[in-house]
Chain A
Amino acid sequence: MGLDFSVVPGFADALLLGVLWTIAITVAAAVLSFFGGILLAVIALYAPLLVRLPFRFFAWLFMGTPLLLQLFLIYFGLVELGIDLPAFVAGVIGLGLHFAVYNSELIQTAIVAVDRGQMEAARTLGLSRGQALVRVVIPQAVRDVIPPIGNNMIALLKDSALVSVIGVSELTLSAQLAIGRTYRPFEFYAVAAVLYYFINLGMEAVLRRIERRTQLSR
C-alpha cells in the first residue's frame, strides 16, 4: 500500500479549521503567558514572603510536572471542585500558566539586570517605586528578553498539540479525526507537520518584527 495524498483535499476545511484553532489557542495562551510572566516576576521579586511562598510552590508545580498532567488536572480535575471549564479555556489556562512560569524566570533575571541608575533617575523625578517599575524598569526588562520569550512562544505553539487530548479540535486533533475516517496516518500527520511548520514561520516573522521595532530603544 503506497502513500496517497489525494485523500487530503477532502479534509481541507477541517484541517484549516484546525489551523485556526491552533493559532487561536497559541495566541491566547501566549498573551496570558506574557502578562502572567510579568506578574509572576514582580511577585517573585517584590511581594512579601507570605505571598511569595505560595507562588513559588505554584511555579515549582508548573515547572516540575508534565504539561499533559496539568491539562488533565485543569480540565478533568477541577470539575470535581465544581469548576467546569470549556476545553478551549482549560487549554489556554494550562498552556498559558505553564509558559508564564518560564517567562517569569526570564523576566526576573532581566529586571534585576536593568541598570540601577534607571530606578534612581525615575525615583529622582518623583515616581514611586511601583510607577518606576511599571514605566521604566519592566519595559526595559521585557525588551531585553524578547528573543528568549520568543523561543518560549515557539515551544508553546508546538506544545499546543497537547490540548488535543482534552478535545480541543486544533490541528493535531483535526488530523487524528481525518485519520480515523481514512486510515491514512502518514499523509495527515505529514500534512499537519507541514502546517505547523508554516504557522511557526509566521510566528517567527512576527517575533523578528517585534525585535526590530525595539532595536532603537536599547
Chain B
Amino acid sequence: MTETRPFVEIRHAKKSYGSLEVLKDINLTVDRGEIVAIIGPSGSGKSTLLRAINDLDPLTGGEVILDGTQVNKALPHRQYEKHINQMRQQIGMVFQHFNLFPHLTVRDNVVMAPKLLKGISEDAAQKLAEEQLAHVGMLERIDYYPSQLSGGQKQRVAIARALAMKPKLMLFDEATSALDPELVEEVNQVMKTLAQEHMTMIIVTHEMEFAADVCDRVIFMDGGVVVEEGPPTVVFQNPTQPRTRDFLRKHLSQYEKEK
C-alpha cells in the first residue's frame, strides 16, 4: 500500500491546560515548499499549535508528522529525548522576542548548535556562519554581540541561526510583532527570500498584507479550531465564515487606518 503523504501532517491535535481547551481537534497538512500563514485573534491557539509542531508545548492528543516521521512519538523518556532532539534539528523556529543568546557573538549564535550537534570543524563553522549571515544581510556584524544590534538585525540573526541547522521546515511565531514599524520590512524581506527558495514555512502573523503577499494558504483560527482556510485571495477577499469576516474587518481596517 503506497500513499503519498503530505510533508507536514497534524492530525486530531488537542491541547488543554487543565479544563481550558486551547486546541480542539485540529487537522492540518502542509506540502513541501508550501508557505502557510496562521492568523486569528489573540488567544485563539496559534502559538500553541505552532509550538506543538516541534513539541515545545506537547499536545495532549493527536499527532504531528514531519516527512513521514511522527514528531511526538510515544517513547520511553530517554529514547524520546534523543528522538525529539533529532527532530528539532530539522525544524527551525523563530520567536517573537528573538531569543538570541546574549553571551555569544553573532557568529557563535549561528554556529553553536551545528558545531555541537553536527561536529563540524572550525573552518566549516566559519564558512557556515558567513554563508548564513550573508543570506540575511548580517555578515558585517559577525563579531558583534546581540546587545549591539537593532531588533530587526537581531531577528535576522535569529533566522540565520535557525537556518544554519539546515531545517526542512521553518516556524515563525509573530517574527515581526516586537519590532518597531520601520524595522519590520527588513525581516519580511528575509522571509520573502526564503519563500522564493521554496522553504516550507508555517508563519503565525498579524500582518495580513504580508500573509496575502507571501503565503500560498491562509488558515484562520479562532477558539482553538480552524475556522477557515484557503488561498489568500479567497480567505481575504471572500471569506465564507462570519467569524473570519469579523476578524478581517477589524484587522484590515486597522491596517487601512495605519496607511
Indicate if the CB atoms of A128 and B81 lie closer than 8 Å. Answer: yes
Q: Assuming the A-B contacts A124-B93, A131-B116, are A140 and B103 also in contact, with contact meaning beta carbons closer than 8 angstroms in the complex? A: yes
Indicate if the CB atoms of B116 and A127 lie closer than 8 Å. Answer: yes
CB of A138 to closest CB in B, whole Å: 10
Taken residue by residue from 109 to 132, chain A's Cβ proximity to chain B (1 for < 8 Å, 0 otherwise) reads as 000000101101111111111010
Dominant secondary structure at the B interface: mixed
Does B147 sit within 8 A of A, measured CB to CB?
A: yes
Does B88 sit within 8 A of A, measured CB to CB?
A: yes
A216 neighbours in B (Cβ, 8 Å): 145, 147-148
- Report the separation of the CA atoms of residues A214 and B103 in the bound assembly, to the nearest whole angstrom: 8
Interface size on B, residues (CB 8 A): 29
Indicate if the CB atoms of B88 and A123 lie closer than 8 Å. Answer: yes
Beta-carbon nearest neighbor of B100 in chain A: A121
Does A143 sit within 8 A of B, measured CB to CB?
A: yes
- Report the separation of the CA atoms of residues A101 and B54 in the bound assembly, to the nearest whole angstrom: 38
Indicate if the CB atoms of A121 and B99 lie closer than 8 Å. Answer: yes
B54 neighbours in A (Cβ, 8 Å): 124
- Report the separation of the CA atoms of residues A199 and B162 in the bound assembly, to the nearest whole angstrom: 47
Indicate if the CB atoms of A140 and B113 lie closer than 8 Å. Answer: no
- Report the separation of the CA atoms of residues A86 and B148 in the bound assembly, to the nearest whole angstrom: 50
Q: Assuming the A-B contacts A216-B147, A216-B148, are A126 and B101 also in contact, with contact meaning beta carbons closer than 8 angstroms in the complex? A: no
Does A209 sit within 8 A of B, measured CB to CB?
A: no
- Report the separation of the CA atoms of residues A125 and B102 in the bound assembly, to the nearest whole angstrom: 16
A118 neighbours in B (Cβ, 8 Å): 99, 101
Does A208 sit within 8 A of B, measured CB to CB?
A: no
Q: Which of A125, A129, A136, A140 contacts B88 (CB 8 A)?
A: A125
Indicate if the CB atoms of B117 and A126 lie closer than 8 Å. Answer: yes
Taken residue by residue from 81 to 112, chain B's Cβ proximity to chain A (1 for < 8 Å, 0 otherwise) reads as 10001101101110101011111100000001
Beta-carbon nearest neighbor of A120 in chain B: B56
Does A147 sit within 8 A of B, measured CB to CB?
A: no
A143 neighbours in B (Cβ, 8 Å): 103
Beta-carbon nearest neighbor of B55 in chain A: A123
Beta-carbon nearest neighbor of A119 in chain B: B99
Indicate if the CB atoms of B97 and A128 lie closer than 8 Å. Answer: no
CB of B62 to closest CB in A, whole Å: 20
**In residues 132-153 of chain B, which contact A (Cβ within 8 Å)?**
145, 147-148
Beta-carbon nearest neighbor of A116 in chain B: B99
Dominant secondary structure at the A interface: helix
Interface size on A, residues (CB 8 A): 23
B93 neighbours in A (Cβ, 8 Å): 121, 124
- Report the separation of the CA atoms of residues A47 and B113 in the bound assembly, to the nearest whole angstrom: 25
Indicate if the CB atoms of B85 and A126 lie closer than 8 Å. Answer: yes
A167 neighbours in B (Cβ, 8 Å): none
Indicate if the CB atoms of B103 and A127 lie closer than 8 Å. Answer: no
Does B206 sit within 8 A of A, measured CB to CB?
A: no
Q: Which of A124, A131, A217 contacts B103 (CB 8 A)?
A: A217
B81 neighbours in A (Cβ, 8 Å): 128-129
Does B156 sit within 8 A of A, measured CB to CB?
A: no
- Report the separation of the CA atoms of residues A5 and B81 in the bound assembly, to the nearest whole angstrom: 69
Does B46 sit within 8 A of A, measured CB to CB?
A: no
Q: Which of B85, B117, B147, B158 contacts A218 (CB 8 A)?
A: B147
Taken residue by residue from 85 to 124, chain A's Cβ proximity to chain B (1 for < 8 Å, 0 otherwise) reads as 0000000000000000000000000000001011011111
Does B15 sit within 8 A of A, measured CB to CB?
A: no
- Report the separation of the CA atoms of residues A120 and B54 in the bound assembly, to the nearest whole angstrom: 11
Does B219 sit within 8 A of A, measured CB to CB?
A: no
Q: A121-B158, A125-B113 are in contact. List 11 more A-B contacts (CB 8 A).
A: A122-B101, A123-B56, A124-B93, A125-B117, A126-B88, A126-B89, A127-B113, A129-B81, A131-B116, A140-B101, A216-B145
Q: Could you list 23 A-B pairs, sorted by A, with CB under 8 Å?
A: A117-B97, A117-B99, A120-B95, A120-B99, A121-B100, A123-B88, A124-B88, A124-B92, A124-B162, A125-B117, A125-B161, A125-B162, A126-B165, A127-B113, A128-B81, A128-B85, A129-B81, A135-B116, A136-B101, A216-B147, A217-B103, A217-B145, A217-B147
